[in-house]
Amino acid sequence: MNVRQRGMLWVVATPIGNLGDLSPRAQQVLRDAGVVAAEDTRHSRPLLQHFGIGTPLTALHEHNERAAVAAIIAKLQAGEDVALISDAGTPLISDPGFRLVRAAREAGIDVSPVPGACAAIAALSVAGLPSDRESFRATRTFARTGK
């Protein structure tokens, strides 16, 4: 039997708009984690409540990230799983979390993504642009011009 000595840091994407977009896997990770590190606990609490998830929340945002990282790393080193979420979308993509992920990796803690909705890909899929080739160029064009 393989027993993990350290916790796992889960980087969990949350819905961009529709709560129904939170995957069953993301819900399970949020439910099983010892704590959820959230960009704004006031924003994240309703998300967790909607799915009946009672996992404790801790704040991790640009103003406290340096101080909060040490406490979260300590939890991970003690074997507790931590789920990192942002207000909407994928953490670290224009959101806090970089310092935590870097510190976890430097400490030898496993970091695993739980993917979700991607605004750029969602926009591309309905833009009417040729997405079978050069999709990244098309995404940049749509993001810049809206057409």
Q: What is the pLDDT of residues 26-66, one digit of tens each?
A: 999 999 999 999 999 999 999 999 999 999 999 999 899 88
Domains and CATH numbers, the chain: 9-116 (3.40.1010.10), 118-147 (no CATH)
Asked if 7 and 80 count as a contact pair (C-beta separation under 8 A), the reply is yes
Collapsing DSSP states into helix, strand and coil, what is residue 125?
A: helix
Asked if 68 and 118 count as a contact pair (C-beta separation under 8 A), the reply is no
- Structure letter (DSSP) for residue 97: -
Q: What is the pLDDT of residues 70-116, one digit of tens each?
A: 999 999 999 999 999 999 989 988 788 999 999 999 999 999 999 99
Asked if 84 and 99 count as a contact pair (C-beta separation under 8 A), the reply is no
